[in-house]
Structure 1
Amino acid sequence: MERIDLPLSELTLSQKLDLMEAIWDDLTKHDEMIESPDWHERVLDDREKALAAGKAKASDWQKAKERIRKNVSCE
């Protein structure tokens, strides 16, 4: 595959995010071809066990997104 060089240092943050979103959208069209690394399954298993043992608690998805948005600034 040919290497693609992008002038990343010349792009605005907004342009970089748009580029990442376009790449992600394209990747998800073929997500069945992407295998998760083994460690993903181990982490998920550990988290599931922690939830079952009462050592962790799950967050409501909407509340989690709000919390993330408050902690991340895209300016």
Structure 2
Amino acid sequence: MTTTERLETMENLWDSLSRSSDEVASPKWHEDVLTSRRKHIDSGNAKFYTLDQIKSHFSR
């Protein structure tokens, strides 16, 4: 398969999976991570960065 054909196949698979997302349950650890992050944000201890700040940090 060409790169274009493989990308089109991946897009088709993703479209198919996204239409049936209710068939796949999120794992418990995912809920735990999101809950932990929400608590961190709500406590005022979270730090947020712009995309430019992140790019600058990783381009060093």
* TM bracket (short chain): 0.5 to 0.7
Note the 1:1-75 alignment, pairs <5 A: 10-12=1-3, 14-57=4-47, 67=51
Q: Which runs of 5+ in 1 are unaligned?
A: 1-9
What secondary structure, in the 3-state scheme, does the structure 2 residue paired with 1:56 have? Answer: coil
Tell me: CA distance 1:27–1:45, structure 2 relative to 1, closer, same or farther (3 Å). same
**RCO higher in 1 or 2 (8 Å CA, sep ≥ 6)?**
1
Give the TM-score taking structure 1 as reference length. Answer: 0.53
Identity %: 37
Question: Residue 50 of structure 1 contacts residue 56 of structure 1 at CA under 8 Å; is this kept in 2?
Answer: yes
* Aligned length, in residue pairs: 52
Give the TM-score taking structure 2 as reference length. Answer: 0.64
Which structure 1 residue ranges, 4+ long, deviate > 6 Å from structure 2? none
1:54, distance to aligned residue in structure 2 (A): 1.4
1:57, distance to aligned residue in structure 2 (A): 4.8
RMSD: 2.5
Tell me: CA distance 1:55–1:11, structure 2 relative to 1, closer, same or farther (3 Å). farther
Q: Which runs of 5+ in 2 are unaligned?
A: 56-60
- Quick one: distance in 1 between partners of 2:7 and 2:36? 31
